[in-house]
Amino acid sequence: MAIGITALGTYAPDRILTNTDLETMVDTTAEWITSRTGINERRIADEHEYASTVGIRAVQDLVRRHPTALDGVDMVVCATSSPDAFFPSTAALIAGEVGLAGAGAMDVSTACSGFVYALATAHGLIAGGVARKVLVIGSETLSKIVDWTDRGTCILFGDGAGAAVIGEVPDGYGFQSFVLGADSAGGPSLYKLAVADRIPGVNPDDATRQIGMNGREVFKFAVRVLGMSGKQALEKAGLTADQVDWLVPHQANIRIIEAASERFGIPMDRTVVNLGRYGNTSTATVPLALQEALDDGRIQHGQQLLLVAFGGGLSWAAGAMRWYGGEA
């Protein structure tokens, strides 16, 4: 039995926050943000939108595109860095609003690598016979947890969500390999506190309740692990970089994407990038990029994809898959 993505949907809030808008909020310039990050604008949730809300909208878009996709779904996995609550899980909140009350539901917390982690989790649940079809969601309202006075972080992040149904696909398609990893030694470079006052390695005087980040350290880590995990995923699948039709990376910073692309030997014209319009939406970046490339016709049935992501933890994830564009 082959397992893959059988349906996809996305959502981004209506409000657009441009780099020019940020010039009035922090000491920066629109040109500096674009040149350093590749971001021109990002979407911002309104006061009544949360991770569950935008996740529900993404599922609704999925159903609009694939009306019967949720039939038989018996598990919901939501990857989020900005959950509505510790409990109930954001997955359970979404499930209850999209007609899946009673299905298993859990959240995955590996920050920006979470969507690929959730895909691997869904694959394992189905392969192990625990579930038949899994709804995977990457959903974020990061605007509610950033420090809007910190120009090092507030310029980067945006809000959005993506949803995918994972189920059986014809042999020869779907997921071929996954590589997952984490190293808490790098945690102080990118973190968000919850119950504790700080985490090991963070100076109590520097600890923040918003997103804390050491951009220089995250950049070095990201370039290294994206290349490493992507190559490992290809090796596990028996593939080489020249067989990849599309690299779909986490959308954090254009310089990171360019450096990772160079390490793979996969040119930028075979790399899906929509960072400029959405910023870093954490767990939502990969599905947002996938959906855009499907909508504009870049990704086609049968093409070879490589998904790579990194995030707080510090964590990383990669997955190789052959895209199935038929009806499962």
For residues 300, 311, 161, 257, the Cα torsion angle rounded to the nearest 10 degrees is -40
- The one catalytic residue among 78, 154, 253, 280: 280
- Locus of tokens 């696909």: 169
Which 3 state secondary structure label does DSSP give 170?
coil
Cβ atoms of 197 and 325 within 8 Å: the answer is no
290 CB burial (10 A radius; 0-12, 13-18, 19+): buried
154 is catalytic: no
214 is catalytic: no
Structure tokens at 79: 């990857």
280 is catalytic: yes
- The one catalytic residue among 112, 123, 154, 253: 112
Q: Which residues pair with 163 in a beta bridge?
A: 9, 137
Cβ atoms of 179 and 113 within 8 Å: the answer is no
As a whole number of angstroms, the distance between CA 268 and CA 275 comes to 13
Q: Mark 63-78 as b/e (b = at least 16 C-beta within 10 Å).
A: beebeebbeebbbbbb
- The one catalytic residue among 19, 78, 154, 250: 250
As a whole number of angstroms, the distance between CA 138 and CA 131 comes to 19
Q: Give the residue numbers annotated as catalytic, written as ranges.
A: 112, 250, 280
